[in-house]
Amino acid sequence: MITVLVVDDDPLVRKMLRLTLQQSGFEVRTAENGKVAVQQLDERAAEVVVMDIVMPEQEGLETTAQIRERWPATKIIAISGGARLGPTGQVRLEASQNLRLAHRLGAHRTFSKPIDNDELLAAIRELAGESPDTP
């Protein structure tokens, strides 16, 4: 069974992704930021990490670089909805900028939020080496 670590600071996103992935037959663990994700990977490996970019404590770009260095066989899927700054909601970094940076740091796939579940599932299966028609 493929193990996926979902890293996102939004508890609703974590829950939605966990349920979607579990229903598709994956073993799923979750972490609320990059620091917790690294701790979890130290304890037990995951084949694929689905990681948000903008998070408190330790954000996704730094964590992507760490994972690529420490666990080079682990595949990374970066996700982002962009970063908002201040009460007016001005966009500081667009999702596409975050995802381009994540790709440069070693993310294997990138997705903007909201994520198309079918595309995400196909990417996880492909990165983990499963055939596309595996349920």
φ/ψ of 133, rounded to 5, equals: -95, 10
Do 95 and 81 touch, CB atoms closer than 8 A? yes
Does residue 42 form part of some domain?
A: yes
Does residue 115 form part of some domain?
A: yes
Burial (CB < 10 A; 0-12, 13-18, 19+), residue 2, is buried
- Report how far residue 44's alpha carbon sits from residue 88's, in angstroms, rounded to the nearest whole number: 41
Does residue 135 form part of some domain?
A: no
Does residue 21 form part of some domain?
A: yes
Domain that holds residue 107: 3-127
Considering the entire predicted model, what is its pTM?
A: 0.88
Does residue 121 form part of some domain?
A: yes
Does residue 44 form part of some domain?
A: yes
Do 121 and 115 touch, CB atoms closer than 8 A? no
Does residue 113 form part of some domain?
A: yes
pLDDT per residue as tens, the chain (135 positions): 999 999 999 999 999 999 999 999 999 999 999 999 999 999 999 999 999 998 888 999 999 999 999 999 999 999 998 655 545 554 445 778 889 999 999 999 999 988 999 999 999 999 999 755 544
pLDDT score recorded for residue 85: 52
- Report how far residue 63's alpha carbon sits from residue 32's, in angstroms, rounded to the nearest whole number: 12
Does residue 134 form part of some domain?
A: no
Parallel/antiparallel/unpaired status of strands 90-93 and 83-85: antiparallel
Q: How many domains does the chain fold into?
A: 1
Q: What is the CATH number of the domain that holds 9?
A: 3.40.50.2300
